[in-house]
Amino acid sequence: MKPISIGAVVLVSVISIAVAGSYDYKDVLQKSLLFYEAQRSGKLPADQKVKWRKDSALKDKGQNGEDLTGGYFDAGDFVKFGFPMAFTTTILSWGLLDHHKGYESANSVSDCLKAIKWATDYFIKCHVSEYEYYGQVGSGTVDHAHWSRPEDMTEERPAYKITASQPAADLAGETAAAFAAASLVFRSTNSSYANTLLNHAKQMYDFAYKHRGLLTDAIPDSKCCYVSTHYEDELVWGAAWLYRATNDKTYLTYVDALWDSFKNMYGFDWDQKYAGAVVLLAKLTGDSKYKTAITNNCNYVFQQAARSNKGLLYLANWGPLRYAVNYAFVCLQAADLGINTQSYRTEAKKQLDYALGDAGRSYVIGFGNNPPTHAHHRAASCPDAPAVCNWDTYHGSQPNAHVLYGGMVGGPAKDDSFKDDRTDYQHTEVGCDYNACFQSMLAHFIELGN
């Protein structure tokens, strides 16, 4: 990591106060990719740039001893939650697929391919047979009782799978979407890998469509952290991505069959796929039904949803920035289809720039003016061995030992206040899913020339 000189930091902060929105999006995009490197689990490759991270969780295994190393630690913890990891992968793929020029101008195409492949290589390992998929490694309750370096973990790391008799159509549907979107990404650079991904996508979709159930019932340990509410939205979203990857209209008949139970949903995040699905279907089919759905949803959120005093969309108190940038990204996709283009782009940029410093401080670690230094992130908080790292480290007032470049934290309270405190995980934690739409939106604005 190239250290940033003090002079540059001062310069950036002066500019960001003087001219709202004049941020170096390419720099932030590159840093966001470093964040994904810092979340890597398993054996790290020789070209790993984030050197303070070490090999970890090398014994992650399935119930029959299958190798389940790799993938991403979810957030500030070390659990590998397949559900948000799949959403992250779908969104990173979407961003690279449709905003390739943005990644090109930031010289970040190959790093983004690596970020996507780090997840899909792991998903392939988890998909041990047609109707058998490991959706989580590590237990939320066990993992969250420890505070240590990832390479020093000694706690038990159980692996949980879904099967035809214990199904989770939300998890399988989102994973099908991730496989399909990633297959499109790799089509031009590695066609054999793209074909492998597409085969997994088709099988996972079939699994999801035929064997319905909720993740929280199939893998109750996920309830600590990710309570998924429906699966119809993932079935529609997955079908949309499969349709994009195959051109097979059968997938659109699945969308039609699901439409009545789906049409009154909302949201766009690790749980809710509504807005992403309708805007993607609008793009792929041009059908006015989908255009109307995304227009109504974006208009509602942009015009009527709660906001902080300084204009941040405030859809939830836990990780508000992530919900704001998710909507900003998805409505930017609508803008690209000619739907309220100028106003949606203006609003999306406002949300992005809030995270980068417009409200007086940066919420992206290692970037801009007064960024967070106490993110709720176990690995970054721990000094290098042999120094002790435990709950005293967690509760200490010292800044994190390592700079987790590019991680966007949860964000402010509704009054725009922010306490840079490791124990306030609703506002200072990071997450793989938090950075996904954020990074894709950066690529989009870079492509538009900011």
Ligand X SMILES: *[C@@H]1O[C@H](CO)[C@@H](O)[C@H](O)[C@H]1NC(C)=O
Among all residues, which ones are annotated catalytic? 77, 376, 420, 429
Shortest Cβ 192–ligand X spacing (Å): 6
Which residue from 193, 274, 302, 344 is in contact with ligand X, where contact means CB under 6 A? 193
Shortest Cβ 120–ligand X spacing (Å): 9
Helix (H, G, I), strand (E, B) or coil at 362: coil
Which residue, 178 or 240, is less far from ligand X as judged by CB? Answer: 178
Which residue, 198 or 334, is less far from ligand X as judged by CB? Answer: 198
Decide: is 199 part of the binding site for ligand X (CB under 6 A): no
115's tokens: 């970020």
Amino acid found at 253: T
Decide: is 190 part of the binding site for ligand X (CB under 6 A): yes
Q: Within positions 89 to 128, which residues make up the interface with ligand X, using CB under 6 A?
A: none
Which residue, 190 or 246, is less far from ligand X as judged by CB? Answer: 190
Spatial neighbors of 87 by CB under 8 A, at least 6 apart, are 174, 178, 269, 270, 273, 433, 436
Segment interacting with ligand X (CB under 6 A) among 13-21, 84-92, 187-195, 257-265? 187-195
Shortest Cβ 394–ligand X spacing (Å): 37
Shortest Cβ 377–ligand X spacing (Å): 29
CB atoms within 10 A of CB 423: 10
Decide: is 72 part of the binding site for ligand X (CB under 6 A): no
Which residue, 192 or 304, is less far from ligand X as judged by CB? Answer: 192
Distance CA 322, CA 374 (A): 18
Segment interacting with ligand X (CB under 6 A) among 126-134, 185-193, 220-228, 313-321? 185-193
Phi (first) and psi of residue 129, to 5 degrees: -155, 175
DSSP 3: P
Which residue, 193 or 354, is less far from ligand X as judged by CB? Answer: 193
Length of the chain: 450
Segment interacting with ligand X (CB under 6 A) among 37-45, 186-194, 346-354, 411-419? 186-194
169's tokens: 């159509």
Residues in contact with ligand X, counted by CB under 6 A, come to a total of: 3
DSSP 356: I
Q: Which of 189, 287, 173 is nearest to 234 (CA)?
A: 173
Distance CA 13, CA 394 (A): 29
DSSP 220: G
Interacting residue ranges for ligand X, rule: CB under 6 A: 190, 192-193
